[in-house]
Amino acid sequence: MKLHGKNIVGGEPVTCSGPTFQHRSPLDLAPLEPPFEEASPTAIHRALEFADACFGEFQSRSQQDRAKFLEAIADQIMRLGDTLLKQAHQESGLPLDRLTGERGRTVGQLRLFASIVREGSWVDARIDPPLPERQPVPRPDLRRMLVPLGPVIVFGASNFPLAFSVAGGDTASAFAAGCPVVVKGHPAHPGTSELVAGAINDAARICGLPLGVFSLIHGGPETGRALVRHPLAKAVGFTGSRAAGLALNQVALSRPEPIPFFGELSSLNPVFLLPESLKERSQQIADGLKGSITLGVGQFCTKPGIVIGIAGPDFTRFASQFKESVEKAASGTMLHQGIAESYLSSLRSMSSIDEVEAFAVSEVNQDSLPGAKGTPVVLKTSARNFIQHRELWEEVFGPYTLLIEADSREEMQKLAQSLSGQLTATIHATTGDIHAFRPLISALQTKAGRIVLNGFPTGVEVSPAMQHGGPFPSTTDSRFTSVGTAAILRWTRPICLQNFPEFLLPDELRDRNPLGIMRQLDGQLTR
C-alpha cells in the first residue's frame, strides 16, 4: 500500500503546494518516504466546512448507525494487517508485539463505544412530567438529554500512534457522541496516520455516511493553532506537552466564541512507599517499580516520575535493591530523535540542581543501539530539597524517576500536600500503614484522578470505571476522562425541551421509551 503524503479532506487526498516535512525513523534516523505536505489554510477551512456541513446529518443518524460506523472502523483497521504494524514500527520504534497490543486496544475501544451507543442510556435522559395542578405554580413538561457539540479537533499523540491518535479514544468517543472529527496528525507517525485515516473513510463509505465526517490534517504548531481558532470547531482533544497544551488552550479560550479544550498535559504520578510495605516486600516493589519506569522506554503519561519513602533501614534496603534493578535494565529506542534529545537535556537540568545526586544508571552496554536511545536513570534527593526546588516538579519523558527521602511521616505528608494535580498517585501499604497514614491517603484524593493501591500506574484499563484525567496541570478539566466510556461526555452538552409535543421529541425522550434506555422519570431511574 503506497503512501501519498497528502492531507485527507472530505474523504479525498488534497494537494497543498506549500512546505513539506519528512520523518526520520528513530530506529536508525534514516528518512522515511514519502515527504508529507503541511496543510494550507484552504485545506484547513475546507475540512471544517465539510465537518460542519455533515454535522446535522451525522448527529441525526440512529444510535444503531453510529455503532455500526464505529465497528466498521475497527474492521477496516484490522484489514490493514501487518502493513499498519510495520509502518508504525518504522515510524515510532515501538516493538511489533507492543503495537499488536495497541492495535487490539484501539479496535477494542471502538467496539466498546459502539456497545455504549447501541445501548443508548449514555444520553442521561431525564423527564419531569407536567404538574398542572401544582400550587402555587404549575410545573411544565421538562425533558433533558445530552446532545453532541459539533465538529471536534483531535490532536494525535506521539506515544500511542494507534490508541491515542487518528482512531484513538478521542476520535472514537467523539464519533460515538455524534460529532464529526478533524484530526491533526502527529508528525512522528504521519504514514501510520494516513493508513488509519483511510480505514476511517472506508468505513464511512461502507456505512453510507457523508465523507466530511472525518478529515486528516498534517502540519506544525501553526496548523494546530489554526484548527483550534477556526470558528466552526466546537471542541478540542489534546494529549501532549504542557507548553503546547497550554498554548492551544489559550487559543481556545481567547476565540470570540470560546470552546471546550480537554488537554492531557503532564503528570509526575508520585509513588509513596509506606514503612511496613517496605519491611514486607521491598524487593518485589523495587522490581515492579523498575518495570513501571522503563515500560515503553518511560514514554507513558502514567510513568512514576517521583518515588517517596521515609528514611530508615527498610528504605535504605529498598533503595539498594531498586538501584541494582535499574542498573541491569536495558536502554531502548525512543519515539523520535527530538524526544531522545529532550530527555538528555532534562536529565542534565535535573542533575545540575543543588543536592540532587545521580543514584542509578543502566550499566547494560548499549553502544551498538543506533537511533534515538533512552537509558534508564534514577536521581535522588531529600523531600526538603524537592519541596524547595520547583524545577524538580517538571515531568521528564523517558525511563527516569526521582527517588525522594523524607525524614518523617510529617515531611511525607507535607510533600503530598504541596503537589500539584496528577493523573495518578500510588501508595504501597499494608493494612497497618493504611490506618497510620489516613491523612496522606485523604490528601492524595485531592491531588489525583486515580489512586492506585499496591500496584503501579502504568497500564490504563479501557473500561466504564476508568478515570484518566486529574486536577490541573495534569489535565485542563478534572471533571472528565480521556479513557473509558465516560470520555464521551466531553463532546456533549445538555438540552432541555419544555412543553414539546410527542411528535417533535427525539426517541430518547418520548413517553413510550421506544429505545428501552434507562431514564430518570420524575426523579426515579427506570426503563
Please state the three-class secondary structure of 228-272 as a single string.
Answer: HHCCCCCEEEEECCHHHHHHHHHHHHHCCCCCCEEEECCCCCCEE
Please check whether residue 4 lies inside any domain of the structure. Answer: no
* List of residues 6+ apart from 126 with CB closer than 8 A: 142, 143, 144, 145, 519, 520
| Whether 149 and 164 share a structural domain | yes
| Whether 236 and 311 share a structural domain | no
Please state, in angstroms and rounded to a whole number, the distance separating the CA atoms of residues 286 and 283. Answer: 5
Q: Model's pTM, two decimal places? A: 0.96
Angle at 304 between CA 155 and CA 369, to 5 degrees: 75
Please check whether residue 384 lies inside any domain of the structure. Answer: yes
Write the pLDDT tens digit of every residue in 319-337: 999 999 999 999 999 999 9
Nearest by Cα to 219 from 4, 7, 48: 7
Write the pLDDT tens digit of every residue in 90-128: 999 999 999 999 999 999 999 999 999 999 999 999 999
Please check whether residue 21 lies inside any domain of the structure. Answer: no
Residue 204 pairs in a beta bridge with none
Please check whether residue 426 lies inside any domain of the structure. Answer: yes
Helices 96-119 + 169-177 axis angle, to 10: 20
How many other β-carbons are positioned within 10 Å of the β-carbon of residue 453?
10
Q: What is the DSSP letter of 286?
A: H
| Whether 242 and 294 share a structural domain | no
| Whether 294 and 147 share a structural domain | no
The domain of 415 spans 271-453
3-state SS assignment for residue 73: helix
CATH number, domain containing residue 130: 3.40.605.10
Helix (H) or strand (E) holding 341: helix 337-351
Please state, in angstroms and rounded to a whole number, the distance separating the CA atoms of residues 196 and 204. Answer: 13
How many other β-carbons are positioned within 10 Å of the β-carbon of residue 402?
23
Please check whether residue 131 lies inside any domain of the structure. Answer: yes
| Whether 74 and 137 share a structural domain | yes
**Terminus-to-terminus CA distance in the chain, angstroms?**
48
| Whether 243 and 388 share a structural domain | no
| Whether 288 and 242 share a structural domain | no
Residue 494 pairs in a beta bridge with 146
Please check whether residue 448 lies inside any domain of the structure. Answer: yes
Question: What residues act catalytically?
Answer: 264, 301
| Whether 301 and 179 share a structural domain | no
| Whether 284 and 416 share a structural domain | yes
CATH number, domain containing residue 317: 3.40.309.10
Phi-psi region of 486 (alpha: psi -120 to 50; beta: other; left: phi over 0): alpha
Whether cis (ω within 30° of 0) applies to the bond prior to 34 is yes
| Whether 53 and 186 share a structural domain | yes
| Whether 241 and 314 share a structural domain | no
Please tell me the total count of domains within the chain: 2
Angle at 180 between CA 206 and CA 94, to 5 degrees: 80
Please state, in angstroms and rounded to a whole number, the distance separating the CA atoms of residues 142 and 519. Answer: 13
Please check whether residue 224 lies inside any domain of the structure. Answer: yes
| Whether 228 and 307 share a structural domain | no
Nearest by Cα to 162 from 98, 244, 236: 98
Please check whether residue 469 lies inside any domain of the structure. Answer: no
Query: Tens digit of pLDDT per residue, the chain (527 long)?
Result: 799 999 999 999 999 988 999 999 999 999 999 999 999 999 999 999 999 999 999 999 999 999 999 999 999 999 999 999 999 999 999 999 999 999 999 999 999 999 999 999 999 999 999 999 999 999 999 999 999 999 999 999 999 999 999 999 999 999 999 999 999 999 999 999 999 999 999 999 999 999 899 999 999 999 999 999 999 999 999 999 999 999 999 999 999 999 999 999 999 999 999 999 999 999 999 999 999 999 999 999 999 999 999 999 999 999 999 999 999 999 999 999 999 999 999 999 999 999 999 999 998 866 666 778 999 999 999 999 999 999 999 999 999 999 999 999 999 999 999 999 999 999 999 999 999 999 999 999 999 999 999 999 999 999 999 999 999 999 999 999 999 999 999 999 999 999 999 999 999 999 999 999 999 999 999 99
